[in-house]
Amino acid sequence: MAKNVSLREAWSGEADCLNCSLRTSVLFAGLRETDFERIHDPIDQYVLKPGTTLYRAGDPGNHMYTVRSGSLKLVQFLPDGSQRIVRLAKRTDVIGLEALVDDGYQHHAIALQPTEVCRFPTRVVRTLSDENPTLHRELMARWQRALKEADAWLTELSTGSARQRVARLLLRLVRDRESSECELFSREDMGAMLGITTETTSRTIAEFKRQSLLVEASASRFLLDIPNLHRIADE
């Protein structure tokens, strides 16, 4: 059972990695019990409210994070003050990987919805990676996955018409899910993900609703017409 602790409480170390329900799918899946016994620093879990900043670009990269539930946006602020969302981090994703090779984080990480994360010291990951080939391979695989995801955002979500971009984003939100239901973010956030204005995003979403490409299931949650969204995305 997940333990909800505040950010202040998290610093004291109260998470139970050995009994984590996601252990088989997150970064430490390949670690042995003896590996955990050698970790003297706390590996903590805590909940972020929507809009909470987990870390900022340029902050010292002392920790890495794995997402247990919810989602965060990785944001790059442009010289004109506007923001560009370069990637979403969802359940089982690891963020802050750049801390392994750089002094600081490259982006702001901000919770989009109630989000539970686990935090672990970067230096511990470096040590375990040097001594555990399985963890090292997993780190490299996740690094490659993050780069591939960033490339996809550039090629899929930053090109084409507004209709195509919105359709592609909606399809990505339900990728690898059994259900076609998804939760929409604010129009401002969606526009920042797609490189279009908030107004254009709102008009496109309204058009998709009129065409029943989005059918409201509950507050902020919609069922997607996946075949027709694919048709629009591939126009």
Distances (CA, A) of 114 to 50, 94, 173, 178: 5, 17, 16, 22
**Same-domain status, 125 and 169:** no
Q: Which domain holds residue 112?
A: 7-140
Judge if 118 and 174 occupy the same domain: no
What is the per-residue pLDDT for 110? 95
SS3 77: strand
Task: Based on the fold, state whether residues 132 and 19 are members of the same structural domain.
Answer: yes
Average pLDDT of adjacent 10-residue blocks, the chain of 235 residues: 42 52 56 60 80 94 89 88 84 85 88 90 78 72 73 81 95 80 89 92 96 88 92 92
Side chain identity at residue 217, one-letter code: A
Report the CATH number that the domain containing residue 50 is assigned in CATH: 2.60.120.10
With respect to residue 156, please indicate whether it lies within any of the assigned structural domains: no
Same domain, 173 and 219: yes
| Residue 53: per-residue pLDDT | 95
In a domain? residue 148: no
Alpha helices by DSSP H, the chain: 7-10, 33-37, 122-131, 133-156, 162-173, 187-194, 198-210, 226-233
Domain boundary residue, one of 92, 109, 140? 140
Is the domain of 102 the same as that of 187? no
Question: Quick one: which of 156, 214, 210 has its CA closest to 183?
Answer: 214
User: Is residue 157 included in any domain, yes or no?
Assistant: no
Residues 30 and 121 in one domain: yes
How many domains would you assign to the chain? Answer: 2
pLDDT for the residue 44 = 78
Last residue of a domain, one of 86, 110, 140: 140
197 and 102 in a single domain? The answer is no
pTM of structure:
0.76
DSSP string over 84-115: EEEEEE-TT-EE-GGGGTSSB-SSEEEESSSE
pLDDT score at 9: 43
Same domain for 177 and 124, yes or no, is no
